[in-house]
Amino acid sequence: MTLITARSTRQAVALDGVGKAFDSGPPVLEDISLTVRSGEFVCLLGASGCGKSTLLNLIAGLDTPTAGSVELAGGHAALMFQESALFPWLTATHNVELALRLRGVPRKERQVEAHRLLSLVRLEHACDMRAHELSGGMRQRVALARALAQGSEVLLMDEPFAALDAITRDVLHEELIRLWQHAGFSTVFVTHNVREAVRLAERVVLLTSLPGRIAREWTVDIPHPRRIEDGAVARLSLEITEHLREEIRRHGQT
């Protein structure tokens, strides 16, 4: 892996006028135009039900837009959910190997690569453990290793740490930033937690409530390492929270 020394201007994700409606209902997303540069970390933020996860599904190719276009570097993205979704009958190694097998990695190389990826997320001691033997944080580390095993330039994360306690979430924030800084993958991270977004992202994108549109963007120029309790993180979080509250009031959401 190579340490990021300069941000590329190459596009990893390009959304142009994207809209989404289901059946004959009102639009969930409307006129979303967004570019994520290669190696950039972007957080999507908004009230519950504003279409954040729907937008992530469109980027992932799990659904198709009803308007506009989605372009993705390499043609596919790795996706990590709030739940680890590990196969309970498989060990941590075999869960990661499954993604490698789907990529066409030869059998002889899969175990070595799976162990390497588990070591990257600091789980080299847990290779032979099954899901029920792992803590919530450890399961999400395995899920992250499995996502990295997909070999994509783009990592999509849908509130992956929301179900974890505050201390475990803080540790995994540090681990994710460490991996992102060294591996250079582009990240689109969905959250409803303003401080989490500011702690992690280079850019925070706020969506309006339904239909979801881009309300505002912030560039986060606070150097890493960042902490949730840092003054600069708190100040920017407060500013973004005020705009989020205004969106919620404007659209009558709770």
User: Which one has a higher pLDDT value, 6 or 127?
Assistant: 127
* CATH fold for the domain made of 11-77+154-251: Rossmann fold (3.40.50)
What is the value of pTM for the model shown?
0.91
**Residue-range domain boundaries for the chain:** 11-77+154-251, 86-151
| Sheet of strand 11-21: strand arrangement | 27-37, 11-21, 67-72
pLDDT band at 23 (very low <50, low <70, confident <90, very high): confident
| Sheet of strand 203-207: strand arrangement | 78-80, 154-158, 186-191, 41-45, 203-207, 214-219
Whether residue 110 has pLDDT greater than 80: yes
Q: Give the tens place of pLDDT for each residue, 42-88.
A: 999 988 888 999 999 999 999 999 999 999 988 889 999 888 899 99
Whether residue 20 has pLDDT greater than 90: yes
Q: What is the DSSP letter of 104?
A: T
Q: How much is the pLDDT for 252?
A: 65
Whether residue 221 has pLDDT greater than 50: yes
- Phi first, then psi, for residue 114 (nearest 5°) are -60, -45
> Which DSSP string do the residues of 22-58 spell out, in sequence order?
-TTS-EEEEEEEEEEETT-EEEEE-STTSSHHHHHHH
Helices and strands in the chain: count of H runs, count of E runs: 7, 9
Whether residue 254 has pLDDT greater than 80: no
Q: Give the tens place of pLDDT for each residue, 158-202.
A: 999 998 999 999 999 999 999 999 888 999 999 989 999 999 999
**Beta carbons within 8 Å of 181's beta carbon, 6+ residues apart:** 3, 4, 224
Dist CA 123 CA 93 (whole Å): 10
Q: Give the tens place of pLDDT for each residue, 223-237.
A: 999 998 999 999 999
Query: Any idea what the Cα angle at residue 32 is, between residues 30 and 34, rounded to 5°?
Result: 175
Tokens at residue 61, please?
A: 């190719």
Query: How big is the chain, counted in residues?
Result: 254
Dist CA 235 CA 238 (whole Å): 5
Dist CA 11 CA 38 (whole Å): 5
Whether residue 5 has pLDDT greater than 60: no
Per-residue pLDDT, averaged over 12-34, amounts to 93
